[in-house]
Amino acid sequence: MARILVIDDDSATKLILYEALQKEGHNVAITRNGVEGIKCA
Residue 34 near residue 22 (C-beta atoms within 8 A): no
- Per the CB < 8 A criterion, the answer to whether 4 and 14 are in contact is no
Which amino acid is it at 18? Answer: Y
Assess contact for 36 and 9: CB atoms under 8 A: no
Q: How many CA atoms lie within 13 A of 40 on its CB side?
A: 16
Reading the chain (41 residues) residue by residue, the pLDDT tens digits are 899 999 999 999 999 999 999 999 999 999 999 999 999 88
Query: What is the reported pTM?
Result: 0.83
pLDDT of residue 1: 87
pLDDT given at position 41: 80
Q: Where are the domains of the chain?
A: 3-40
Q: What's residue 18's pLDDT? A: 97
